[in-house]
Structure 1
Amino acid sequence: MLEKPAIAAEEEAVTDPEEDFSSRDEIERELENYGRYRAGRDELIRKADANGLSEAHIARLMRHSRNTIRKSLGRA
């Protein structure tokens, strides 16, 4: 029978997800930043589409799935 490898003490410790951010305010700022990024991303996708780039080409350039591009364009 194979023995289970010993787990390092660091891996055994369960970390509290809230410890990744120093405060509630900080995580709220991160979420707001992500929201602004996403809004800008969607606008860029719409501009690319309006200028004739295909969904597949936009997806490839942005490293997103075609489904993400379709959702941004309201075609999903």
Structure 2
Amino acid sequence: MEMHSQNIMETCEAYIKTHLSDPLTAGQLSQKFGYSLYHFAHLFRAYFGQPPGVYIRILRLEQVAEAIEQGKPVA
């Protein structure tokens, strides 16, 4: 993966992590980062090893698991 695409994916990861409580779709992310949906999904899978929706779900589940472990309310 070229350096520019890698930087975009790192920026995308930071964006996702700060917006986990927002509804996020691959289409929205592709528009935000200036790629077609097809190209974005291809780059995302190459970088993270899974599609955007799966990656976002995993992060959300990890966030909920951490909250439960800390005794925080989950709603």
TM-score bracket relative to the smaller structure: 0.3 to 0.5
Report the TM-score when normalising by structure 1.
Answer: 0.34
- Is the radius of gyration larger for structure 1 or structure 2? 1
Structure that is richer in helix per residue: 2
Q: TM-score, normalised by structure 2?
A: 0.34
Larger RCO (CA under 8 A, 6+ residues apart): 2
